[in-house]
């Protein structure tokens, strides 16, 4: 009998072709694996197919290597790229932050309480302010100051930390520095950023104060993968919160912080659960 806590995740994508769902479901049946959840999407414009399947093996001697080798032979016929994720997998991550602590604090709480299946390997900051918070969680803290003259040297050290810790995901939890094109390329599909989303858009200093002056009725946040276009990478998820004339700039800031925390945590969870597929400059996101 299958164990309900032994849920594996198989994700795959390939060109749109007849039989793409069948190759997955038929193989799982032959391997005596019970499908507990399945979502798929066919992009008729890009002619690309995406599928995510959660399953539980019926047999207790399920072997991941044997499974992958056998499925690779079937997948090759469809030019299918796939990934198998083990139950209770904990992704190693590095968090980058500046002075604002709200997103970092939220992530650390979710990590401490087991809501996020990650292993935080390090926190990197260009300021020393948040080291006591990170030290309280008994995590390594790297203070790497940055100036225009030291940017290349600092980023080289950032990359050294990422590589040496084996991090598979970098979370920019209000890291207020623009990453170079070179580092963005290295982190393609592996780094999630959060920023405010206001209508109309406000850039520069004190965006929420600018929003107050314009009388905005919604504040929000966008979580996305980073790329070489500032704050314009492939979007994972967005959140909004209604505001009114009764909210002063400090209220807008507080509500903005809350929605940033929730939106970033949601994006990280979707990534960890293998529900996000990069598709050109967009994403395919399977909801829970």
With 70 as the cut, is the pLDDT of residue 107 above it? yes
Note the CATH architecture for domain 8-85.
Answer: 2-Layer Sandwich (3.30)
pLDDT at 171: 98
Phi–psi pair at 198, nearest 5 degrees: -125, 145
What mean pLDDT comes out for the span 211-224?
90
Q: What is the per-residue pLDDT for 207?
A: 83
- pLDDT at residue number 3: 66
**Does residue 231 register a pLDDT over 80?**
no
Q: Where do you find CATH 3.40.50.170 in the chain?
A: 91-285
What confidence score (pLDDT) does residue 2 get? 61
Closest CA to 132 of 122, 141, 119, 120: 141
218 or 232: which leads in pLDDT = 218
Confidence band for 210, pLDDT divided at 50, 70 and 90? confident
Write out the catalytic residue numbers.
231
pTM of the complete model beyond 0.85: yes
What percent of the chain is predicted at pLDDT more than 90? 76
* Distance in angstroms between the alpha carbons of the first and the last residue of the chain: 26
pLDDT value of residue 148: 85
Beta bridge partners, 156, equal none
Which uninterrupted H or E stretch holds 164? helix 151-165
**Does residue 116 carry a pLDDT above 60?**
yes
Phi-psi region of 32 (alpha: psi -120 to 50; beta: other; left: phi over 0): left
* Burial (0-12, 13-18, 19+ Cβ within 10 Å), 18: exposed
Place of tokens 């995901």: 169
Q: What is the mean pLDDT of residues 22-27?
A: 97
Residue 183 pLDDT: 93
Cite the residue boundaries of each domain of the chain with CATH code 3.30.70.260: 8-85
Read off the pLDDT of each residue in 174-195 and give the average, rounded to a whole number: 93
Mean pLDDT of 116-127: 97
Q: How many CB atoms lie within 10 A of CB 166?
A: 10
Mean pLDDT in residue range 96-120: 96
Task: Give CATH for domain 91-285.
Answer: 3.40.50.170
The Cα-based distances of 277 to 122, 138, 283 in angstroms read 26, 33, 6
The rounded distance, in Å, linking the Cα atoms of 133 and 113 is 16
Using pLDDT thresholds of 50, 70 and 90, give the confidence band for residue 72: very high
């Amino acid at each position: 009998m299958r164990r309900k806590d032994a849920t594996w995740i198989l994700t795959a994508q390939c060109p749109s072709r007849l039989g793409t769902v069948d190759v997955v479901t038929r193989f799982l049946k032959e391997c005596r694996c019970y499908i507990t959840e399945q979502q798929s999407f066919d992009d008729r414009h890009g002619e690309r197919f995406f599928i995510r399947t959660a399953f539980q093996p019926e047999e207790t001697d399920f072997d991941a290597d044997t499974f992958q080798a056998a499925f690779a032979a079937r997948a090759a016929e469809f030019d299918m790229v796939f990934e198998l994720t083990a139950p209770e997998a904990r992704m190693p991550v590095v968090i980058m932050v500046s002075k604002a602590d709200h997103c970092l604090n939220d992530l650390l709480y979710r990590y401490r309480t087991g809501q996020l299946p990650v292993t935080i390997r390090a926190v990197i900051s260009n300021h020393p302010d948040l080291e006591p918070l990170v030290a309280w969680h008994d995590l390594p803290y790297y203070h790497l100051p940055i100036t225009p003259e030291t940017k290349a040297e600092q980023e080289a050290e950032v990359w050294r930390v990422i590589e040496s810790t084996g991090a598979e995901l970098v979370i920019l939890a209000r890291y207020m520095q623009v990453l170079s094109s070179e580092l963005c390329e290295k982190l393609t599909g592996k780094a999630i950023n959060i920023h405010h989303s206001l209508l109309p858009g406000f850039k520069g200093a004190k965006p929420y104060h600018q929003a107050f002056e314009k009388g905005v009725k919604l504040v929000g946040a966008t979580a996305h993968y980073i790329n070489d276009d500032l704050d314009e990478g492939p979007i994972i998820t967005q959140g909004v919160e209604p505001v009114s004339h009764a909210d002063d700039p400090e209220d807008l800031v507080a509500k903005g912080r809350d929605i940033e925390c929730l939106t970033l945590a949601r994006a990280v969870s979707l990534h960890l659960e293998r529900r996000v597929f990069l598709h050109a400059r967009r994403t395919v996101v399977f909801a829970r």
